[in-house]
A and B are shown apart, each in its own frame.
Chain A
Amino acid sequence: MTRFAFQNVGVFDLSWSKAFDKWTFGIVTKPFEDQYFTDSLYLSFKIAIGTAALTLGLLIPTAIWVHLRVPKARVLVEFMTVLPYVIPAIALVAGIVVIKPHARWFLNSDLSLIPFYTVLALPFTYRAIDSGLRAIELRTLVDASRNLGAGWMRTMSKVIVPNLRSAIISATFLTVAVALGEFTIANVLLKQTFPPFINEYRMREPRAGYALAVLSLLFTIFIFGLLSVALRSPSTKSHQNSPKSRELS
């Protein structure tokens, strides 16, 4: 416990000295003035949003399909979502470099990172959406909705998606975090997203670079804080015999 707390404190402690050296706040705002700052940040945000959209658009229908139509496929699909662990980012980008000559038209675009980031986030996002689907009575809801005359599009948008709110929020935040923080693939493919910018900036301006890194760290923490607040819900599952609920029984 102490080690954990200690490390936690460390992260916050570190840059106060770097950022507030000579107690000036100017160091922290310095990165914002760099010419590449806005460009790379903007690109990263675009990629993050695109990745989130692709993830949700691909996984929600797929997960629903698995639940409703092809339950036997569940094990296979789950296995496939674990595969990105087997082929980590650095190996994946090695493969991309091989394909590069054949797919130059695609890989030249900066946005081509989007599908790869979706793959990287796949294990987390699929699990989030899958648990969300398992928590609601999917079949009943769909049957009821269809019985009342709604088509598939309406069922999805008005019935399923609102019920998946927390899972969708989780998956989106995870995806955005991955996309904003991913360095490996962007670096090898020489794309100017935010993390490579931070890295390069640090080499040019060490102090400001560290301040910037800490800023993005704090920002991520802030975002996740928002996430946990947004997801705060009354306890969903109540374990009959879990140590926690002993007190209540």
Chain B
Amino acid sequence: MGNSHNLPPETEGAVAQAAVPSLVPKRVQTNRARPNMAWIGLVPFFAFLTLFLFIPAFSVFSQAVRGADGKFTLGPLREGISGQNLEAFKFSIKFSAGAAFVGVLFGTLLAYAAVITKRPKWLRSLIASFSGVAANMGGLTLAFAFVSLLGRQGVLTKILAALGWDLYSGNFGLGEIPGLITVYSYFNIPLMVLVTIPAIDGLRSSWREACANLGGTTWTYWRRIGLPVLAPSIMGGFLLLFTNSFSAFATARVLTDNSKIVPLRIGFFLGGDLSVGEDSIGYSLAAWMIIVMAVCMWLYWILRRRAEKWQS
């Protein structure tokens, strides 16, 4: 079929086809080749993610279903959510939800204040940039700061004691739920502010005016328009704060030595000298943690899609 170099490609096929109808495939218009090739440009990115994210993640699951003898078994997975581990999950979920709730409450209010307040003008960017700092400033240093402040020997504890309020007389403890929530709020609230400011920006003032024109009060506005529009963002923020609190390791490790929360338990199982089969419990905990996170992020994804409708 090589003797028609001078003919344009379309006729070449047509001529050949006319000559030998069944042997030559019809020349099909293919535009699909182009976009397909372009995906190659994303290979470095995907390869990087595969190597440094997917493979470790997958390994967690593969180890989690490995028994002491190395064979496939669901035992560790079941044990990962029973007994003390179940308690740890319940505790983690409880306090993460609490921390997220506090964060959502104050964060939303703060974000709203930041957007609404027009004087002084620099207030909003101050809040926004401080939130940027504080949201990413978790971990070790924050935990130390709070230990110095509210620990048993802490500055504030002593001040409050002098004023007559013994902080530690009741159930309070930095490693317990109230204490953890307090500390975590320090980066949860700013994170919520960061996420909510764009959402509040999306509330068009024309809606407010239209509502007033139609005879609605402030309460009507919020009930019928404002909150429903904000709801996906707020719930999404809640999920974000929840996952953030649930997975915090460094902060928790400084605050509490016990292994009541899941990340700490994982660290414990990974680090110590344990008998051979026991470390799969650590992996199964990690696997369950990933599952919890995945559910939350999936919900968050859905909510975010809905929230973005209002932000364009």
Contact = CB atoms under 8 A, between A and B. Distances in A.
A85 interface: yes
Contacts of B271: 188
B57 A199 contact: no
Contact of A228 (B38, B57, B129, B139): B129
A188 B253 CA distance: 12
Given A88-B293, A220-B133, A243-B205, A96 B155 contact: no
B137 interface: yes
A94 B136 contact: no
Interface stretch (B19-27, B83-91, B161-169, B281-289): B281-289
Interface in A36-62: 58-59, 61-62
B70 interface: no
A161 B132 CA distance: 23
A65 B41 contact: yes
B141 A244 contact: no
B222 to A, nearest CB: 13
A97 B64 CA distance: 13
A188 B270 contact: yes
A62 B38 CA distance: 12
Interface string B245-286: 011011001100000000100110011000000000011001
B205 A246 contact: yes
B125 interface: yes
A83 interface: yes
B145 A89 contact: no
Interface stretch (B9-17, B43-51, B227-235): B43-51
Interface stretch (B74-82, B106-114, B172-180, B212-220): B106-114
Contact of A225 (B48, B129, B204, B283): B129
A7 B141 contact: no
Contacts of A79: 301
Task: Tell me the interface secondary structure of chain A in the complex.
Answer: helix
Given A65-B41, A181-B140, A83 B247 contact: no
Interface residues of B, number: 87
A244 B201 contact: yes
Contact of A13 (B115, B138, B156, B290): B156
B139 A182 contact: yes
B56 A98 contact: yes
Interface in A198-218: 198-199, 202, 209-210, 213-214, 216-217
Contact of B116 (A119, A199, A243): A243
Nearest to B182: A7
A200 B121 CA distance: 44
B201 A70 contact: no
Given A65-B41, A220-B133, A202 B144 contact: yes
Contacts of B267: 90, 184, 187-188
A87 B145 contact: no
Nearest to A229: B129
Interface string B201-212: 111111110000
A95 B266 contact: no
Contact of A216 (B116, B136, B141, B146): B141
A96 B56 contact: yes
Contacts of B185: 3, 7
Contact of A210 (B56, B148, B286): B148
Contact of B145 (A14, A80, A92, A174): A14
B154 to A, nearest CB: 7
Q: Indicate the member of B110, B145, B147, B240 with the most A CB atoms within 10 Å.
A: B145
Contacts of A227: 129, 132
B153 to A, nearest CB: 10
Interface of A: 1, 3-4, 7-8, 10-11, 13-15, 17-18, 58-59, 61-62, 65-66, 69-70, 72-73, 77, 79-80, 82-99, 115-116, 118-119, 124, 174, 177-178, 181-184, 187-188, 195, 198-199, 202, 209-210, 213-214, 216-217, 220-221, 224-225, 227-228, 232, 239-244, 246-247
Interface of B: 35, 38-39, 41-42, 44-46, 48-49, 51-53, 55-60, 62-63, 106, 109-110, 113, 115-116, 118, 124-125, 129-130, 132-133, 136-142, 144-150, 154-156, 182, 185-186, 189, 200-208, 240, 243, 246-247, 249-250, 253-254, 263, 266-267, 270-271, 282-283, 286-287, 289-290, 293-294, 297, 301
Given A224-B129, A242-B205, 17 more contacts: A7-B182, A14-B149, A58-B48, A79-B301, A82-B301, A85-B293, A86-B293, A86-B297, A90-B263, A91-B287, A94-B266, A98-B63, A174-B136, A183-B140, A198-B140, A225-B133, A243-B205
9 contacts: A4-B110, A88-B243, A92-B57, A94-B286, A181-B136, A181-B140, A184-B267, A195-B139, A241-B206
